[in-house]
């Protein structure tokens, strides 16, 4: 079943003129933040809008939420029209507070003067009398959601006394307690440090899978998108350039922009061969790789180990004591001004390594690579 349909969505803003370069642009020209987007999101999907800053992701999400009024198009959630208009002069526009959607944004936006419990209970308590659950039911539902988000032990704590990660989990708890047909997530992890981001990313994925909440996720981080999504729509300048499963998008980009935007990472297919504490060992094309992950992916599962080019360290000498140490041969190099890229052949695989230009190694040379387990990201294959 389709949970969200976006049809020919257009949203423009009055240009501020501030970006005007002398004589080149009309200061009053409208900025088409969303320029005719159509997409369908199926029930239970984790659908990601991925693209660089300014490409229109937030505007698309805010339009769905009812926080922006589109110029034209149609928005339908679970069979119910939320917006349609712009063509024949007649416009339907359901106000944001009547759309019943869950939302989590980059800033935590929790209610500071309330406890954790009250923050989550609030969206249920403010419902109008006929739709408000009883006290007992509210308490049960809040309890369940807090448990899911691993916040039960903090129920009575003042919301401001939580860490950043806990606050963001609280924002999520508050968004899902109303059991929305659609959950809208706008870069919800971008204010968190890398470690927390990884663990919350998987928590989100688990939550999304366990609860089956259809979610729209906005990010500019391609690894995050690959790790989380069932479908990715790559956006640029207000339009969707390509849409597909994560694997399709990175294996078969349909244009140069998508290839460059997604393709700056090394994706090494492999199989989980074991666990040890917070570490997972994966057999990949370059050899056995250890990575740090709080997520327990079963042994035997196919995964992809993603390593950013700058996360590989390159050396002409063997370290001998590194966890992920591989030997290979430089097949190519490219100077990028402030960095140098080496293309290194390891067994049957090729990886890109980005480093300081002070180390530039001639093609044909044997080199050694290492990647810290915390810098290797698990991307599920499904
Ligand atoms: P993203 O979330 O992908 O970074 P946005 O949707 O925030 O992108 O913005 C898309 C474009 O629309 C940008 O050029 C941005 O400057 C412009 N824009 C967004 N909101 C407004 C606004 N309220 N007024 C004017 N321009 C805006
Ligand atoms: Mg944004």
- Tens of pLDDT along 181-191? 999 999 988 87
Contact predicate 184/159, CB 8 Å: no
Distance (Å) from CA 218 to ligand 1 centroid: 14
pLDDT confidence of residue 24: 57
Distance (Å) from CA 53 to ligand 1 centroid: 9
pLDDT confidence of residue 87: 64
**Mean pLDDT on 198-221:** 86
Residue 308 and residue 199: Cα distance in Å, rounded? 18
Per-residue confidence band for 314, with pLDDT thresholds at 50, 70 and 90? very high
**Mean pLDDT on 49-65:** 96
Distance (Å) from CA 168 to ligand 2 centroid: 17
- Is the pLDDT score of 375 beyond 60? yes
- Is the pLDDT score of 374 beyond 90? no
Sheet order of strands, 2-14 included = 30-42, 2-14, 72-77, 80-85, 92-93
Which residue is associated with the tokens 């259809």?
214
Q: What is the pLDDT of residues 295-305, one digit of tens each?
A: 778 899 988 88
Q: Which residue has a Cα nearest atom 22 of ligand 1? A: 13
Q: Which residue has a Cα nearest atom 18 of ligand 1? A: 33
Contact predicate 132/124, CB 8 Å: yes
Contact predicate 283/270, CB 8 Å: yes
One-letter-per-residue 3-state SS of the chain: CEEEEEEEEEEEEECCCCCCCCCCCCCCCEEEEEEEEEEEEECCCEEEEECCCCCCHHHHHHHHHCCCCCCEEEEEECCEEEEEECCCCCCEECCHHHCCCEEECCCCCCCCCCEHHHHHHHHHHCCCHHHCCCHHHHHHHHHHHHHHCCCHHHCCCEHHHCCHHHHHHHHHHHHHCCCCCCEEEECCCCCCCHHHHHHHHHHHHHHHHHHCCCEEEEECCHHHHHHHCCEEEEEECCEEEEEECHHHHHHCCCCHHHHHHHCCCEEEEEEEEEEECCEEEEEECCEEEEEECCCCCCCCCEEEEEECHHHEEEECCCCCCCCCEEEEEEEEEEECCCCEEEEEEECCEEEEEEECCCCCCCCCCEEEEEECHHHEEEEECC
Distance (Å) from CA 330 to ligand 1 centroid: 43
Residue 313 and residue 305: Cα distance in Å, rounded? 16
Nearest ligand to residue 34 Cα = 1
pLDDT confidence of residue 259: 76
Q: Which residue has a Cα nearest atom 21 of ligand 1? A: 13
Percentage of the chain modeled with pLDDT above 70: 94
**Least confident span in 224-228, 264-268, 351-355:** 264-268
**Mean pLDDT on 132-154:** 92
Q: Which residue has a Cα nearest atom 24 of ligand 1? A: 13
- Is the pLDDT score of 26 beyond 70? no
- Is the pLDDT score of 19 beyond 70? no
Per-residue confidence band for 108, with pLDDT thresholds at 50, 70 and 90? low
pTM: 0.77
Q: Among 19, 54, 241, which is best to mutate for testing ligand 1, by the most ligand atoms less than 8 A from CB?
A: 54
Per-residue confidence band for 21, with pLDDT thresholds at 50, 70 and 90? low
Q: What value does the mean pLDDT of the chain take? A: 89
Per-residue confidence band for 361, with pLDDT thresholds at 50, 70 and 90? very high
- Is the pLDDT score of 106 beyond 70? yes
pLDDT confidence of residue 16: 66
Percentage of the chain modeled with pLDDT above 90: 58
Contact predicate 379/227, CB 8 Å: yes
Distance (Å) from CA 308 to ligand 1 centroid: 28
pLDDT confidence of residue 333: 92
Q: What is the pLDDT of residues 77-92, one digit of tens each?
A: 999 999 998 766 788 9
Distance (Å) from CA 222 to ligand 2 centroid: 15
Q: Which residue has a Cα nearest atom 14 of ligand 1? A: 54
Per-residue confidence band for 293, with pLDDT thresholds at 50, 70 and 90? confident
Q: Which residue has a Cα nearest atom 11 of ligand 1? A: 33
- Is the pLDDT score of 234 beyond 80? yes
- Is the pLDDT score of 18 beyond 60? no
- For the CA of 187, the closest atom of ligand 1 is 2
Residue 210 and residue 204: Cα distance in Å, rounded? 10
The residues lining ligand 1, judged by C-beta closer than 6 Å to any ligand atom, are 13, 31, 33, 51, 53-59
**Mean pLDDT on 20-45:** 82
Which of residues 86 and 238 earns the better pLDDT score? Answer: 238
């Amino acid at each position: 079943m389709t949970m969200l349909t976006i049809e020919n969505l257009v949203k423009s803003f009055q240009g501020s003129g501030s970006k005007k370069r002398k004589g080149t642009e009309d200061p009053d020209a409208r900025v088409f933040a969303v320029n005719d987007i159509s997409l369908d999101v199926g029930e239970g999907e984790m659908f990601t809008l991925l693209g660089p800053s300014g490409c229109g992701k937030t505007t698309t999400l805010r339009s769905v939420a009812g926080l922006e009024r589109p110029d034209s198009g149609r928005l339908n959630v679970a069979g119910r029209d939320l917006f349609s208009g712009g063509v024949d002069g007649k416009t339907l526009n359901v106000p944001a507070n009547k759309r019943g959607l869950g939302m989590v944004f980059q800033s935590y936006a929790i209610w500071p003067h309330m406890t954790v419990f009250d923050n989550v209970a609030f969206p249920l308590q403010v419902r109008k009398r006929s739709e408000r659950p009883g006290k007992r039911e509210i308490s049960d539902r809040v309890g369940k959601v807090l448990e899911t988000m691993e916040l039960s032990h903090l129920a009575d704590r003042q919301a401001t006394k939580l860490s950043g990660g806990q606050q963001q989990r609280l924002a999520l708890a508050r968004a899902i307690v109303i059991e929305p047909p659609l959950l809208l997530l706008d870069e919800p992890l971008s204010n968190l440090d890398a470690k927390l981001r990884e663990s919350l990313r998987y928590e989100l994925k688990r939550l999304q899978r366990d609860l089956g909440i259809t979610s729209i996720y906005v990010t500019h981080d391609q690894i995050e998108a690959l790790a989380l999504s069932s479908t990715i729509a790559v956006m640029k300048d207000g339009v969707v350039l390509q849409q597909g499963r994560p694997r399709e998008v990175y294996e078969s980009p349909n244009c140069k922009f998508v290839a460059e935007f997604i393709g700056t990472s090394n994706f090494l297919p492999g199989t989980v061969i074991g666990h040890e504490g917070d570490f997972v060992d994966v057999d990949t094309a370059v050899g056995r790789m250890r990575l740090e992950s709080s997520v327990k992916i079963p042994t035997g599962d196919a995964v992809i180990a993603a390593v950013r080019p700058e996360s590989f360290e390159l050396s002409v000498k063997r370290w001998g004591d590194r966890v992920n140490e591989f030997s290979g041969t430089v097949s190519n190099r490219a100077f990028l001004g402030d960095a140098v890229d080496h293309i290194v052949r390891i067994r049957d695989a090729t990886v890109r390594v980005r480093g300081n230009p002070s180390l530039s190694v001639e093609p044909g040379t044997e080199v050694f690579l290492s990647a810290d387990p915390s810098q290797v990201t698990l991307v599920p294959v499904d």
